[in-house]
Amino acid sequence: MSDERERKLAQLLVDYSVDLHKGERCLINAVDVPSSMVEELIVAVYRKGGYPEVNYSSITIERALIEGGNPESFASRADSDSYRMDRMDAFIGIRGVINPKEMSGFSSVMSDYLIHYNTPVHHDRRVANTKWVVLRYPTFLMASQAGLPMRQFTDYFYSMILDVDYPGMSASMDAAVAFMNRTKDVHVFAEGTDLRMSIEGLPAIKCAGRRNIPDGEIYTAPVRDSVQGVITYNTLSTYEGTTFNGVRFVIRDGKIVEATANNTRRINEILDTDQGARYFGEFALGCNPRITSPMDNTLFDEKIAGSIHFTPGNAYTTCDNGNRSGIHWDLVQIQRPEYGGGEIYMDGELIRKDGVFVHEAFTALN
């Protein structure tokens, strides 16, 4: 039996996030979530006159498919799944986090998977050509990561999603987007960070429930070769089965020339996936006031009030600086005082100090 909140979540995803219309095809990709949630999504798609299709899987099945694979097998799967994705109008990806370590231990195969499967199916087709949204489903592990009992975390999870006025959030971003669209130079200063880049000619994109749930960010991208300086991230990030902390990049002419972390060898393996992995595809301001603490879950952490994320890897086609890569790794730095503070300047004007927006074009985001 489904929870009434599952029904409301399904309606939000179908009606608002992917804005499904009559006659459109929607692929529901569900991993480690209850069947009741998938059923509610199917019902919501039918209610809009759409045509649902479903992938229903688990992280252990995904591991088996990747661990035993090779470039030829990944390309074969990509050929089939690309054919299907090309025929979709919308995509809803919902995943329960069961074990972030499940994908550890086979780094070379993972690189082949990212290049020969993930890039053609998701980066090149799903992201570029469908109305899509991705989200997590509450699990005991996520509750533990958040430091909360399961019942309390589930209530918190749904409040972050269902109690948010996403059209209102979107409207509050308009002035900031207009300002960023006129901006040439960005300077980010924080503990262990002194970073400069140009965003001239690259659009600012507001994120208010259309691509991620929960949401709350404005992103752009740096001019690919313009980034100079150093950045130190202050939140945990589990990527490809390895948990990283203390990630620090030295960047010269847009390229990460030095990368260190608690696992320096592994982080450099990831950044050597392909030529674009050491360049940046996204710079974003996190601004969801309901999300204040990291829990090593990117879709939540990158929205934290007072944060930025600066992303090695592939650029989105909606804000395309030309960087192409099999990875897109949203690493988060929180700039509120309890995390060391920080300042963001745009064309020399102070935009945010210690996590609070101070410029009139941005204060609605507080």
Q: Which CATH number fits domain 4-162: 2.115.10.20, 3.40.1830.10, 3.30.9.10, 3.30.70.20?
A: 3.40.1830.10
How buried is 225 (Cβ within 10 angstroms: 0-12 exposed, 13-18 middle, 19+ buried)? middle
pLDDT at 240: 86
Q: What is the rounded CA–CA span in Å between residue 247 and residue 122?
A: 26
Angle between helices 150-162 and 4-11 (to 10 degrees): 30
Beta bridge pairs of residue 260: 248
φ, ψ of residue 171 in degrees (nearest 5): -65, -35
Residue 43, both tokens: 């019902």
Contacts of the segment 80-83: beta carbons below 8 A, 24+ positions apart: 81/117, 81/121, 82/120, 82/121, 82/124, 82/125
pLDDT at 2: 59
Cβ neighbours, 10 Å, residue 77: 18
Q: What is the rounded CA–CA span in Å between residue 329 and residue 114?
A: 12
Check if the beta carbon of residue 121 is closer than 8 Å to that of residue 93: no
Q: H/E element holding 133? A: strand 131-137
Check if the beta carbon of residue 352 is closer than 8 Å to that of residue 365: no
Q: What is the rounded CA–CA span in Å between residue 66 and residue 106?
A: 9
Cβ neighbours, 10 Å, residue 158: 17
- Non-local (6+) Cβ contacts of 344 within 8 A are 186, 187, 188, 189, 285, 308, 335, 350, 351, 352
Check if the beta carbon of residue 271 is closer than 8 Å to that of residue 278: yes
Residue 259, both tokens: 């990368």
Helix intervals (H) in 23-131: 35-47, 59-67, 71-85, 107-113, 127-129
Question: Considering the entire predicted model, what is its pTM?
Answer: 0.84
The one-digit pLDDT tens for each residue of the chain (366 residues) are: 458 999 999 999 999 999 999 999 999 999 999 999 999 999 999 999 999 999 999 999 999 999 999 999 999 999 999 999 999 999 999 999 999 889 888 878 988 999 999 999 998 999 889 999 999 999 999 999 888 999 999 999 998 899 889 999 999 999 999 999 999 999 999 999 999 999 999 999 999 999 999 999 999 999 999 999 999 999 999 998 899 999 999 999 999 999 999 999 999 999 999 999 999 999 999 999 889 989 998 989 999 999 999 999 999 989 999 999 989 999 999 999 999 999 999 999 999 999 999 999 999 999
Check if the beta carbon of residue 57 is closer than 8 Å to that of residue 30: yes
Choose among 5, 13, 11: nearest CA to 215. Answer: 13
pLDDT at 320: 96
For the chain, the structural domain boundaries read: 4-162, 166-365
Place of tokens 């507001």: 206
Q: What is the rounded CA–CA span in Å between residue 95 and residue 176?
A: 31
The CA-atom distances, in angstroms, between 12 and each of 58, 170, 208, 211 are 24, 15, 12, 12
